[in-house]
Amino acid sequence: MIKEELIAKMNEVLAEEFEVEVEAITPDADIKKTLELDSLSLVDMVALIEDTFDIKIDGQDVSKIKTFSELYDFVNEKVNA
């Protein structure tokens, strides 16, 4: 999967799950603020990404990620590992 496809897919599923406009998801935006994630809902994002890209990721790693561009890089590395 090329990275542009991954980014488009990621933005689409995140916007749908967390009920935000897809335009609100920009590379430098803060993930938790944009998607209104609290400590309870972070695991929903982890589960959604795992399901969408058929990968396993560590929740500890994800909780350290701040922006969408960092998230794209992190998931891209896992998908193309």
Site residues (vs other proteins, CB under 8 A): 38-40, 42-47, 50, 59-60, 62-63
Backbone angles phi, psi at 23, to 5 degrees: -65, -25
Shorter beta-carbon distance to other proteins: residue 3 or 44: 44
CB atoms within 10 A of CB 79: 16
Shorter beta-carbon distance to other proteins: residue 21 or 38: 38
Assign 55 to helix, strand or coil. coil
State the Cα–Cα distance between residues 25 and 68, nearest whole angstrom: 7
Shorter beta-carbon distance to other proteins: residue 2 or 40: 40
In the complex, least distance from residue 41 CB atom to other proteins, rounded to whole angstroms:
8
